[in-house]
Structure 1
Amino acid sequence: MKKLVLKNDWMGKKPVISIEFPYDFQLKEVVKQFPGCNWDTRKKVWWVAYTENKLSEMLQFFKGKVWLDYSGLKRVEIPTIFPELPDLVDPLDDEIRKFEDWMRNKRYSGSTVKTYRDAVSIFLRFLENKSIREIENQDLERFNKEYILARGYSGSYQNQVVNGIKLFFQNRRGIKFNHEIVYRPKKEKVLPNVLSKEEVARILGSPTNLKHRLMLMFLYACGLRRAELIGLKFEHIQRERGLLLVKQAKGKQDRVVTLPESLLKELEKYYKSYKPKEYIFEGQKGGPYSEKSLAEVFKKAVQKAGINKPVTPHWLRHSYATHLLERGTDLRYIQELLGHKSSKTTEIYTHVSQKSLQQVKSPLEDLNL
């Protein structure tokens, strides 16, 4: 299979992914079909705008067509403050601070507060400090076209920005902006990324450090999100019942998940060795383990396992749900274990379940060839 080499590059101040390959007419035609792909006449290279989800999009698009070598591709921290946009004037800065205080009083999560605050800030800076009472819906349309789409940001980012701006203007009076008629981008249908049981076993078996291994085991065995894992305390474990209480998870909801006996045995060994004080997994200076450090632990485990995919810790949660489904667990129970409000969110795993797909018989089998 033909190969494309992906590398980090820059177009001015904009991070991009360069696509390198020896000249091949057919391969060039395939590359050109990828959305947002451009040809740089000076560097003589094809490129796409860098986003956090871009590699996943490319793997999905080129699957079965070409092989992607992304070993030289590194994660780029995209700053939320762009030098080409003017700073906010004090009156607008005050409005955003009030909006931030209002969200905190309403108990929005810290990540949501930051996302919405940054979204509104960038929107107002893009409009060059235009008075909020003069802003109209067409300003948002221009912002979407000239800022979000021009920079190649994802549909999910666009949705986050729309949500933040809409919420901001809901609390304003005497304005032209009508938040009731704000458009939303078409929602992308993205299937969850799932690892095989063999791949999961290789990842969990990679760390030699007991603490690191146990963290990854918890992610998979209980279907936890990263923030849920690092917030765990020993008081959340109900050993007699074989259950784990996940406190104040996404949506400010508690839920209960099962704790396998094998995980409890590993937890006993860990406690005797590390003796954590408050959180099950603590940093070197106490307090909860950081998400950044957890991501680094996981990255090293994936590399050691020899898995060449853009795997993230959340893939273990997706794999947990899919493997439960393949074992015959009722979808309603999986919904409860994952903490999904809607069954439709959980139903997406039926699209990637190997057991479900293998039950589908291809019409080719009916042909006498």
Structure 2
Amino acid sequence: MDEKPRLLDQVREQIRLKHYSIRTERVYCEWVKRFIRFHHYQHPEVMGAAEVEAFLSDLAVRKNVSASTQNQALAALLFLYKQVLKLDLPWLGEVVRAKKPSRLPVVLSIGEVQQTLAHLEGDVWLAANLLYGSGMRLMEVIRLRVKDIDFIRLEMVVRDGKGMKDRVTVLPRCLIEPLKQHLAVVKARHVAELNAGRGDVYLPFALERKYAKGPWEWAWQYVFPASGLSVDPRSGKTRRHHMDEKRLQRAFKVAIKRAGIVKLATPHTLRHSFATHLLESGQDIRTVQELLGHADVKTTQIYTHVLNRGGLAVLSPLDRA
């Protein structure tokens, strides 16, 4: 029993060395604990492909988890063996990843987007508008910093997006004034906190050492700060973090219901809608790929299947009658 906390500490250390998010740290540690518990607390060093396969099979058969969840568990275990235990994995090729079902994204029409946004207000309204207007992912909007908005060039910089890549996306003209008004309120609260001896914010990686005064500077503040202070689980410091994404998710769910829309839409649906509507308007697919931050254009091409084009542009024989 003494070895389990030490092993998890090693997992956390390697995750932080590779600058993975706190979410990844929590998820990977939970999967490692579940794996060890499933095999009656055997140490992972004495286990291999057979035990990993048995664990993954149990998730799929008895727990009935999705393919993405099963693959997440596998990723955590491979991280444990390769990065933490530093073990050679001759059996790695034997572990079969679950095949994800090929599904088309849920997309809202322009009218449905407008109806949904009309049922939101305040900072969640602004955040949802940025999701649709820029094509950013949910956490990319939530983690947006003041310095990454350029009102002159009408663009926003997404820092450390998926795959730890930066990219530039569009800032909608119609959001300039609402965003400036929102930032004025945020800045006033930030100034008040500075006067009270607080006002610092989390900086990623080694930036806090590089920019000693950075955590207190306006440029590094979150565009969508949390309503209250919280304790940073890694540093133990009490700070104002960014908005909880669940707040936007809950508000969006209510807005969809009030708008009378029966599609299974989430805030991420606004990103799908952004891409689809751009392609519908004739925008070049390569440009859409860059805005979305897709490494491969094949990922962006899924939105062409949602359009009423190509083979799907046929006229139904019933409409000819």
Instruction: Report the TM-score range of the alignment, normalised by the length of the smaller protein.
Output: 0.7 to 0.9
1:352 to 293, 298, 306: 306
Amino acid at match of 1:343: V
Distance (whole Å) between structure 2 residues aligned to residue 141 and residue 268 of structure 1: 53
**Alignment correspondent of 2:71:** 159
Does 1:135 find its partner at 2:78? no
- Bigger RCO (CA 8 Å, 6+ sep): 2
In 2, the alpha carbon distance for the partners of 1:176 and 1:346 equals 34
Q: Is the 8 A contact 1:223 1:320 kept in 2?
A: yes
Q: Give the counterpart letter for 1:262 in structure 2.
A: C
Aligned-pair CA distance for 1:356 = 4.8
Query: C-alpha deviations, 1:176-227, integer Å up to 9, x for none?
Result: 87334322122321211111111101011112x3323212111100112121
Aligned to 2:198: none
Matched, 1:337 2:291: yes
Q: Separation in 2 of the partners of 1:274 and 1:137?
A: 52
CA 1:131/1:287 → structure 2, altered by over 3 Å: closer, same or farther?
A: closer
Structure 2: distance between partners of 1:117 and 1:366? 56
Tell me, what secondary structure is at the counterpart of 1:249?
coil
* Match for residue 256 of structure 1 among 143, 165, 168: 168
Equivalence for 1:242:
154
Q: C-alpha distance in 2, partners of 1:249/1:219?
A: 14
- Distance in 1, matches of 2:87 and 2:159, equals 41
For residue 262 of structure 2, what is the aligned residue in structure 1? 308
Unaligned runs of 5+ in 1: 1-88
- Give the letter aligned to residue 280 of structure 1: V
Query: Identity rate of aligned residues, in percent?
Result: 35
Consecutive unaligned residues of structure 2, counting only runs of 5 or more, are 191-220, 229-239
Q: Which residue of 2 aligns with 1:35?
A: none
Aligned match of 1:196: 109
Matched-pair contact (CA < 8 Å) for 1:135–1:177: no
- Which of 182, 189, 200 aligns to 2:95? It is 182
Partner AA of 1:264 in structure 2:
I
Q: Which residue of 1 aligns with 2:248?
A: 294
Measured in 2, the distance between the counterparts of 1:108 and 1:260 equals: 31
State the shift of 1:145 in Å: 2.6
Match of 1:326 in 2: 280
Alignment of 1:1-369 (within 5 A): 89-171=1-83, 172=85, 178-207=91-120, 209-272=121-184, 275=187, 277=190, 278-285=221-228, 286-356=240-310, 359-362=313-316, 364=317
* Structure with a larger share of its residues in helix: 2
TM, length-normalised to structure 1: 0.69
| One-letter code aligned to 1:335 | Q
Contact conserved, 2:119 with 2:259, CA < 8 A, in 1?
A: yes
Distance 1:230 1:186 in 2: 30
CA 1:240–1:361 in structure 2 vs 1: closer, same or farther (change >3 Å)? Answer: same
User: Does structure 1 conserve the Cα–Cα contact (< 8 Å) formed by 2:186 and 2:223?
Assistant: no
Q: Give the 3 Å change call, closer, same or farther, for CA 147–239 of structure 1 in structure 2.
A: closer
In 1, Cα distance between equivalents of 2:89 and 2:153: 57
Relative to structure 1, the CA distance from residue 167 to residue 282 in structure 2 (aligned partners, 3 Å threshold; closer, same or farther) is closer
How far 1:143 moved relative to its partner? Answer: 1.7
Q: Kindly state the Cα deviation for residue 273 of structure 1 after the two structures are TM-superposed.
A: 5.5
User: Please, what is the CA RMSD of the aligned residues?
Assistant: 2.4
Q: CA–CA distance in 1 between the matches of 2:174 and 2:183? A: 15
Matched residues, number? 278
